[in-house]
Structure 1
Amino acid sequence: MSSPMQDLPVGHPIGAETPIRSSVELGAVMREQRKRLALKQLDLAGLGNTGNRFIVDLENGKPTVQLQKVLDLMDLLGLEVIVRTKASRSAQPL
């Protein structure tokens, strides 16, 4: 019998890459992915070994949530963080 964590897709696509510039934007993307996977907040809390309050706070954009927990939950949802230099706002040289 497989565990619920093994049943979650790895790298489940959410469409195009989404730049995240705030905790509110990250929470919204994670909520959208959780719903896309047909998971309730309590389901994700159980899978992530965290409390439901943490999921609620995260999805509402609380800026002081624990980073490692967020990264672990993103992994469970098939999401990842990629850090790169911002694209230039202007293609013209100075």
Structure 2
Amino acid sequence: MEEKLPHRNGGDFPIAVSRMEDIGSLIQQVRKSQGMTQLDIAGLGGVGNRFIVDLEKGKKTVQMQKAMDILALLGLEVVIRKKGKS
């Protein structure tokens, strides 16, 4: 059963994202729903606070592996599939 998490599209997970801004917004919403600050998640993820700020703003040049690590810390994962498939 899929867990319902807050995101601006208002739907259930999984959701499709196509922009870093979408990923950043989702990370911010999930982080806040878990009661964590940017400093909390930065410390847990072994990254600087600036990285979290940039990630949540959707900066296109953030390091992908670090972003994946932060997603995992929040209990999220990336699934790649062909567009239009469920």
Q: TM-score, normalised by structure 1?
A: 0.77
Q: CA RMSD in A?
A: 1.7
Aligned-partner Cα distance in 1 for 2:13–2:44 = 26
Moved over 6 A (4+): none
Q: 2:65 aligns with which of 49, 68, 79?
A: 68
User: In the aligned structure 2, how far is the partner of 1:76 from the partner of 1:21?
Assistant: 21
**1:21-36 paired onto structure 2 within 5 Å:** 21-36=18-33
When residues 12 and 73 of structure 1 are mapped into structure 2, their CA distance, relative to the original with a 3 A threshold, is farther
2:24 is paired with a residue of what secondary structure? helix
Alignment of 1:15-94 (within 5 A): 15-87=12-84
Structure of higher RCO (CA pairs closer than 8 Å, 6+ residues apart): 1
Which structure is larger by alpha-carbon Rg, 1 or 2?
1
The answer to whether the Cα contact below 8 Å between 2:3 and 2:13 also exists between their aligned partners in 1 is: no
Structure 2 unpaired stretches of 5+: 6-11
| Unaligned stretches of 5+ residues in structure 1 | 1-10, 89-94
Q: How much has 1:12 moved relative to structure 2?
A: 6.3
Question: Quick one: which amino acid aligns to residue 73 of structure 2?
Answer: L
Give the TM-score of the pair, scaled to structure 2: 0.84
